[in-house]
Structure 1
Amino acid sequence: MIKGDGRKMNERLTVPAIPLPMAIACCALNFLIPGSGTVLAGFTSLCYAQDDMGVGLRCASCCIGFAVGLLQLLTLGVFLLGWIWSCIWGLGFLGMSIKYSQVSPLSATAHVIPSIVVQQPGQGQETGHVENSQYMSSHHHQIVYPSQPA
């Protein structure tokens, strides 16, 4: 099932949201060899697509990227249509990457710290997950990391 707005998902199927360094490389490739960056972006969408895209949507995005890249290369001889299309598509990779690379620091922190022991002054130890660093700093909890097993 597709989560979120259907229009945004369709947009991401055709122009995948990939990491910014990869988007820059794909854009440069599209300017040099029309369609090559589009094909590469399609293949990278298998690995780097957003979490809300299932395996089926990732495969569809890969196939769409491959087909569009091939068409961009084949239409190169028609008044440079393929090259212009490829350049515009490459700039689209940059725009989509910038749009979807905005990650809030709190959501990134919640995924980085797996499990910790929180010890409140004067109480026993409890295990839990840190989901909001502001909560931890405002309630003066002492964070004790569990020792590694020998």
Structure 2
Amino acid sequence: MDQLPKEAEPAAAAPAAAGGEPSRGTASSSGVVVQIREKKGPLRAAIPYMPFPVAVICLFLNTFVPGLGTFVSAFTVLCGARTDLPDRHMCCVFWLNIAAALIQILTAIVMVGWIMSIFWGMDMVILASNKEQGIPQQL
């Protein structure tokens, strides 16, 4: 009976595990190559890749006025900032950012929106620093 590959193993690595020839793209000594991809929801994927100083300003705004930095970042989408939603229209991504800002503002009363706003700003800074360092974005 043939064994099915584990979820983390690519299907092409199954013959190598069964004693056959190693598949192309995997090292013969290591056996399995595992690739991890982060799955982002539409709101999280709509965060724009901004210049680093703008991202820091948005983090500062989000820290003291929940949702304000997210609101400002929505306008960077209209100015040409890229996002992880390349197949969606610019206006759709703009409105997703506006929706995230409204969620942060409306739930700030119970502290959830304020915490979400700070994390959102930190994500903006992380994305901006990765962009400056030349680290490729994962789609």
Report the TM range for the smaller structure's normalisation: 0.5 to 0.7
In structure 2, list runs of 5 or more residues that go unmatched: 1-36
C-alpha root-mean-square deviation of aligned residues, in Å?
A: 3.0
Task: Name the SS of the counterpart of 1:65 in structure 2.
Answer: helix
> What's 1:23 paired with?
55
Of structures 1 and 2, the one with the larger relative CO (CA 8 A, separation 6+) is: 2
Structure showing greater radius of gyration is 1
Structure 1 distance, partners of 2:84, 2:62, is 27
Change (3 A) 1:41 1:51: closer
Amino acid of the structure 2 residue aligned with 1:39 = F
Q: CA deviation at 1:83?
A: 0.5
Listed one character per residue, the Cα deviations across residues 57-115 of structure 1 (whole Å, up to 9, x for unaligned) are 3222211110000110000112x1110010000000000111122349xxxxxxxxxxx
Aligned pair count?
99
Structure 2 distance, partners of 1:89, 1:52, is 15
Q: CA deviation at 1:14?
A: 2.2
> What's 1:35 paired with?
67
Structure 2 distance, partners of 1:12, 1:67, is 11
Identical residues among aligned pairs (%): 33
The answer to which structure has the higher helix fraction is 1
2:129 to 98, 104, 108: 98
In structure 1, list runs of 5 or more residues that go unmatched: 105-150
TM-score, normalised via structure 1 length: 0.55
Structure 1 distance, partners of 2:123, 2:84, is 20
